[in-house]
Structure 1
């Protein structure tokens, strides 16, 4: 499927509204995410590789905040365990509709892929089945902070022994100089990918009220408090990282 270039914030806006995963974002999302998140393709593909190590016969794999299904597609490519299926969940109807189209196209290109169910739902209200893996790829940062403990606790309870949570997030840093350095380098990354100063500034304004990153230490403490036994960072590029949390 053809991608549209991300030009959402290319013209001045009198008032920048809060960022939303609406039709406009869905149309340009593959371009937006590649140009905004350093290491994104590596993270996505390797979530599939990692998931293959934790998958168990008959146990579902969750992709929470699945957007257009990039992680779901990686899970389907790499996991070859009998009876597994992917449950992809997103609360944006526009994302869900386009995700189903992408997965249908994947079905046409590959044989013997894991079955997948795409659900439009709020992950905070989801009734989790016992599962071998949960992937949250840049999703928790959009969940209200006061609901994060509860969500991670329910995920921990749903995970089978030997399973894992893979959590990817933008990070903030406790040290002010470190935080500023990595913020500046991230802006340089976006400039290098063709975003103008106007686009960078307006998108930052759009995200201020809806995306709230935590530090690596906060993630670790929250996951351990939720009942996970070990938290292992496996990837970081600038201020974006991914962790494995073991039950």
Structure 2
């Protein structure tokens, strides 16, 4: 399935509205995420590799906030555990329409893939079944901060012994000089990927009220308070990281 280059913020906007995952974003999202999130392809593919380590027979593998289903596709490529099912959940109708098309294309290319259910729902309202793997791939940062502990507790309660939560997030840093350095390097990454100063500034204005990053220590403490026994960072590139949290 083809996608368009990300030019959503290339022209001056009279009024910059809060960022939403609508059809315009869904159309350019593969290009947007690749050019905006350092290490994104590595994170996605290795979530599939990690999932193969933790997946258990007769359990669910959740991709919460699945967007176009990149993690779901990685889970299906790598996990061969008997009677597992991937459950891909997002609250954006536009994103899920394209997600289903991508998954249909994957079904046409590969045999013996895990079955998948695609569900349009608010993940805060979702009833989670017994799961051996839950992926929150750049999703928690869009959840209202007061409700993040609630979601993590729900995930912890659904996880089977020996399962795992994989949490990927943009990070903020407590030390001002470190935060400034990594923010500047992230801007340099976007410039190197062809974004103009106007695009960078307008995108920042659109997303700053919607996406609220936390520090690594905040993530660690919140996960431990939710009942996880250990939190291990397994990947970081600039101010983007991914963690494995074990029950």
Return the alpha-carbon distance in structure 2 between the equivalents of residues 151 and 70 of structure 1.
22
1:24 aligns with 2:24: yes
1:36 aligns with 2:36: yes
Name the structure 1 match of 2:211.
211
Displacement of 1:233 in angstroms is: 0.1
Report the TM-score, using the length of structure 1 for normalisation.
Answer: 1.00
Shift >4 Å, 4+ stretches: none
Gaps of 5+ in 2: none
Shift of 1:17: 0.3
Deviation string 1:108-167 (CA, Å, 9 cap, x unpaired) is 000000000000000000000011000000000000000000000010000000000000
* CA distance, structure 2, for counterparts of residue 96 and residue 193 of structure 1: 27
Calculate the TM-score normalised by the size of structure 2: 1.00
Q: Which residue matches 1:12?
A: 12
Three-state SS of the structure 2 residue aligned to 1:20 is: coil
1:45 aligned residue: 45
Per-residue CA deviation, residues 35-90 of structure 1 (Å, 9 max, x unaligned), is 00000000000000000000000101000000000000000000000000100000
Matching residue of 2:93:
93
Q: Secondary structure at the match of 1:243?
A: strand
Distance 1:76 1:85 in 2: 9
2:170 paired with 1:145: no
User: How many correspondences in the alignment?
Assistant: 247
DSSP-derived class of the 1:236 partner: strand
2:175 corresponding residue in structure 1: 175
1:133 counterpart = 2:133? yes
Question: Residues of 2 paired with 1:55 and 1:194: CA distance?
Answer: 39
Root mean square deviation, CA, Å: 0.3
